[in-house]
Chain A
Amino acid sequence: MLDYVIGKYNFWIYVVLMMIGLYAMMGKKNLVKKLIGMNIFQSAIILFYISTGVKKGGATVPILMGHAQGHGHQAIDVAGYLNPLPHVLMLTAIVVSIATTGVALAILILIYRRYNTLEEDEILKIRKDTGV
């Protein structure tokens, strides 16, 4: 049991972060707070992926330096370099997260222009009063 927690504590941390973000998205009334919850959720997923690419035992960043470049066909030690694939996937996911935040902020500007408030219950009240 202890091994379960200690051996994989990175996953535990990221799951807790994800749940904080998910709660903020669903439970908060202010629209900007929901957006920030969305950002926390996506960032936690990105960190989760990157943590799966780590290799213990002295692995370094996945860039070949100096002597390994060039035409030598020396065997490149696989265990000496980190896994590059999660980094690649998460570069795309970071860009997607930023783009979604940008579009959501533009929608918030439209909402603010129309209703002059950013609280969900006030907006519902205005909609009910004006019959929209």
Chain B
Amino acid sequence: MKVIALIAAIMTGALLIYGIEEMPEWGDPNSPANSHVSPLYIQEAIEKTATPNMVTAVLADYRGYDTLGETTVIFTAGIACVLMLRKKHKGGGD
């Protein structure tokens, strides 16, 4: 089993590294990731959302729906622990 796990891990790693070859250099300011969608966030965050912190502007305004999903994930995990661990008659196991 350990051998299979090792082979699977090495193959996945090799596949990932195969894909790294064409990636932009680390820190390139003109990479697609840094020049397609982000410049608008940086330039317009303060005008449109009145928030100096750009990460907050994106998190709570442009992509606020993802934050609602994230809050739901926390709530789900909490209720899941209540569902699984609560013992009524023994004084509760948390």
Q: Are A54 and B26 in contact (CB under 8 A)?
A: yes
**B contact residues, total (Cβ < 8 Å):** 53
Judged by DSSP, the binding face of B is helix
- Interchain CA distance A68-B77 in the complex, whole Å: 40
Q: Which residues 1-21 of B sit at the A interface, judged by CB distance below 8 A? A: 1-2, 4-6, 8-10, 12-13, 16-17, 20-21
Give the contacting residue for A23; candidates B6, B53, B66; CB below 8 A: B6
Closest 5 pairs between A and B when the two form their complex, measured CB to CB: A27-B5, A56-B27, A99-B77, A26-B5, A62-B54
- The contact of A110 among B42, B69, B84, by CB within 8 Å, is B84
Check if A62 sits within 8 Å of B28, measured CB to CB.
no
Q: Which interface class (under 10, 10 to 19, 20 to 34, 35 or more) fits A? A: 35 or more
Can you list 25 A-B pairs with a CB-CB distance of less than 8 A?
A: A11-B26, A22-B5, A22-B8, A27-B9, A52-B31, A55-B27, A55-B34, A62-B42, A63-B53, A64-B52, A69-B46, A78-B39, A83-B34, A84-B38, A84-B42, A84-B45, A84-B57, A92-B69, A96-B73, A99-B74, A102-B80, A103-B80, A106-B80, A107-B84, A109-B93
Q: Is the CB of A85 within 8 A of B41?
A: yes
Q: Is residue A115 within 8 Å, beta carbon to beta carbon, of the partner chain?
A: no
Contact B70 A53 (CB under 8 A): no
Beta-carbon nearest neighbor of A26 in chain B = B5
Are the CB atoms of A19 and B63 closer together than 8 Å?
no
Q: In the bound complex, what is the Cα–Cα distance between A52 and B70 (angstroms)?
A: 22
Q: Is A76 close to B, CB under 8 A?
A: yes
A-side contacts of B16, CB under 8 Å: 15, 18
